Structure 1
Amino acid sequence: MNIKSLLLGSAAALAVVSGAQAADAIVAAEPEPVEYVRVCDAYGTGYFYIPGTETCLKIEGYIRFQVDVGPQQVNKGASGDIGGTSDWDAFTRGQVQFTAKSDTEYGPLTGVIVLQHNGDSAAYQNAILDSAYIDIAGFRAGLFYSWWDDGLSGETDVLASHETLHNSIRYQYESGDFYAGISVDELEDGHFPDDGSEVPNNVGVALGLGGKAGAFTYQVIGGYDTDNEEGAIRGMGTVAIGPGTLGLAAVWASGQNSYYDASEWTIAAEYAIQATDKLKITPGAQYFFNYNEDDGASDDFSNDDAWKIGLTVDYQITDNFYAKATVNYLDGDNVDDVTTGYFRLQRAF
């Protein structure tokens, strides 16, 4: 067989094999179209469109390391707090918040989920739902913090009692720098009557209004605890004066209730000094009339008074990285004086 015959035979054999395999030939698939994430600037910075939708999403949160100082510190994040004799306790927290917004014929539809994980140690940790609510046209429903969670900027004041996070339904009207609203709250973590009840499970109604006028901000709120049949009223205001901001607050409670039971009357003041662009120093003081010495174990306030002073220092180390330290001293007529405080590092994103 010569070379020419060998080449022709090989070519014919290859053609036959190729024809037999033509049906099984591999064909490259067309690439899927890619939809890149688009920035959504309709609701402020940090939002982006969820691909394939017109819903805008923002993801934010923080990582916190904190050391508490004071007598009888407890393990945080355990299934049940475990008391100890240590005068200090360190813990770490990670929190992430998802905020979704979209336009509707009723205005922006907002959904918020806040997830939090606290670790006091490897053995004692917990993951909680810190908030989750729906907001549209001024109406809000879900698990969220009430107006009673607001306070002065320092860490000295005690202007609310028990938990301020409730399952609630709220309507809030807003116009410019003014707002007013009403909230119906499920009170399951507060003061319960001295009638043998083991846990509270009642309804509260809160009213709130506030706003801003130039350098002055104000808030007036009230809460009525239907189970205890008692309520509380609080007023708070701040005004820019000199190198800082003066803050004043006062609370009155008709009797011990889930909104406020630290004392029958109290007044608080602070002056937040903006020493530099990154450093804020806030001394504060508070006086309690008819102080609640037994921490809510009875339905009556005492006839004794107490006072508290403290200092809080905030420092911005760099963008999104902060340090905070506070120390507070409490002295009462028939209670042991106590000094507490903490040091915190927090990275926000």
Structure 2
Amino acid sequence: MNIKSLLLGSAAALAVVSGAQAADAIVAAEPEPVEYVRVCDAYGTGYFYIPGTETCLKIEGYIRFQVNVGDQVGGSLAHPNDSDWDAVTRGQVQFTAKSDTEYGPLTGVIVMQFNADNATDQEAKLDSAYLDIAGFRAGLFYSWWDDGLSGETDDIGSPVTLHNSIRYQYETGDFYAGISVDELEDSPFYDGETANNFGVAVGLGGKAGAFSYQITAGYDTDNEEGAVRAMGTVEIGPGTLGLAAVYSTNPNAYYNAAEWAIAAEYAIKATDKLKITPGVQYYSDYGVDGSDFADGDAWKVGLTVDYQIVDNFYAKASVQYLDPEDADDSTTGYFRLQRSF
């Protein structure tokens, strides 16, 4: 028997076997249809439908590298030292979910932040988490006192502006007004006791052509003191002029740097990519002496430079000089690289 005859015989045998078992052949199930991600353009760019739902989701964030300079800024989060420089890295991601309801869009936001002073000294924290519907917001979020001018010189807010809060805010295209009840358990000024009370803040603001404005006030029930702030910007020439003033009855959770202060800046749009912002601030009765403001005044001047390297990637450098009447002067600053997505 030659090879040709052997191959022909094998093929015939296989054909007989295949024919005999044709009725018992296994038929593979057809794959389930795949639902591809659909773009959701009802709430702006970047949203997509969560598969199988009518909820739209947006994922965004940034990666930041920063070198801080100044007196005793070095060391780690747990073990500070007297070094005059320190490099830090941050990653932040935000999830925003929206869906239509009979009361308008239902919004949920979660912001996670990760900070690293070095490979072993790191922290992860919940930076914000809240729900929002029909002007009502509840959860962990930043208050109106977190807002400020565009540069880095102004010091017109509280060191702690992230609270568990309930807020209602009415908004139109160019105007908003609202009221917020804030838990002040993490107040920066306790007046000799552990803070475990609440504050009430109000805010209103808007735009009128090239002019924008904001008025914010807050009353700290723990310290029984309050503060009020007015802030405005207007486009003049090649830049934007910003002015702000703040007054505090005594140190409290909403403002505790001075009895009153005024700040000014001019953000110069030098090119499409370059912005230069000089700023100045004056404090009256700067600092805290026991439960009251101190008697000395202070001046602060600074310069901030922003440069957009490419889309979603920019560099920022800032230097600030503070000269208190009753304390040593100081110079601080930083250089930052940030990629947003």
How far apart, CA to CA, are the structure 2 residues paired with 1:287 and 1:13? 97
Give the 5 Å matches for 1:5-16: 14-15=16-17
Give 1:193 shift. 3.9
Who is 1:154 aligned against? 151
- Retained in 2: the 8 A contact 1:102–1:108? yes
- Retained in 1: the 8 A contact 2:191–2:223? no
Give the 5 Å matches for 1:104-143: 104-143=101-140
Q: In angstroms, what is the RMSD of aligned CA positions?
A: 2.0
Q: Is it true that 1:290 corresponds to 2:292 in the alignment?
A: no
Who is 2:303 aligned against? 311
Change (3 A) 1:192 1:338: closer
TM-score (norm 2): 0.93
Which one-letter code corresponds to 1:37 in the other structure? V
Task: List per-residue Cα deviations over 1:256-298 (Å, max 9, x = no partner).
Answer: 101100000100000000000000000000000000156xxx2
Which one-letter code corresponds to 1:194 in the other structure? D
Who is 2:329 aligned against? 337
Who is 1:235 aligned against? 230
Which one-letter code corresponds to 2:301 in the other structure? I
- Retained in 1: the 8 A contact 2:256–2:288? no
Q: Please, which of 191, 197, 203 is the counterpart of residue 202 of structure 1?
A: 197
Q: Is it true that 1:253 corresponds to 2:248 in the alignment?
A: yes
Give 1:111 shift. 0.5
Who is 2:271 aligned against? 276
Which one-letter code corresponds to 1:284 in the other structure? G
Task: List per-residue Cα deviations over 1:179-230 (Å, max 9, x = no partner).
Answer: 00000001122244434x2x32210100000000000000001000000000
Who is 1:36 aligned against? 36
How far apart, CA to CA, are the structure 2 residues paired with 1:201 and 1:346? 37
Give 1:249 shift. 0.3
Who is 2:54 aligned against? 54
Q: Is it true that 1:322 corresponds to 2:314 in the alignment?
A: yes
How far apart, CA to CA, are the structure 2 residues paired with 1:16 and 1:268? 90
Which one-letter code corresponds to 1:46 in the other structure? G
Q: Please, which of 142, 160, 178 is the counterpart of residue 181 of structure 1?
A: 178
Which one-letter code corresponds to 1:332 in the other structure? P
Who is 2:70 aligned against? 70
The percent identity for this pair of structures is: 74
Change (3 A) 1:243 1:320: same
Which one-letter code corresponds to 2:187 in the other structure? G
How far apart, CA to CA, are the structure 2 residues paired with 1:68 and 1:173? 39
How far apart, CA to CA, are the structure 1 residues paired with 2:294 and 2:18? 104
Q: Please, which of 257, 260, 272 is the counterpart of residue 262 of structure 1?
A: 257
Change (3 A) 1:318 1:146: same
How far apart, CA to CA, are the structure 1 residues paired with 2:242 and 2:236? 10
Give 1:36 shift. 1.2
How far apart, CA to CA, are the structure 2 residues paired with 1:337 and 1:143? 36
Give 1:7 shift. 6.6
Return structure 1 stretches of 4+ with deviation > 2 angstroms. 10-19, 191-195
Who is 2:100 aligned against? 103
Change (3 A) 1:58 1:83: same
Q: SS where residue 148 of structure 1 aligns?
A: helix
Q: Please, which of 88, 93, 107 is the counterpart of residue 91 of structure 1?
A: 88
Give 1:26 shift. 2.9
How far apart, CA to CA, are the structure 2 residues paired with 1:284 and 1:147? 21
Which one-letter code corresponds to 1:288 in the other structure? Y
How far apart, CA to CA, are the structure 2 residues paired with 1:179 and 1:15? 81
Q: SS where residue 318 of structure 2 aligns?
A: strand
Which one-letter code corresponds to 1:103 in the other structure? D
Task: Provide structure 2 residue ranges, at least 5 long, that are not aligned to the other structure.
Answer: none
- Retained in 1: the 8 A contact 2:217–2:227? yes
Change (3 A) 1:132 1:161: same
Task: List per-residue Cα deviations over 1:110-136 (Å, max 9, x = no partner).
Answer: 000111100110110011111110000
Change (3 A) 1:301 1:51: same
Change (3 A) 1:157 1:273: same
Give 1:22 shift. 5.4
Who is 1:26 aligned against? 26
Change (3 A) 1:127 1:16: closer
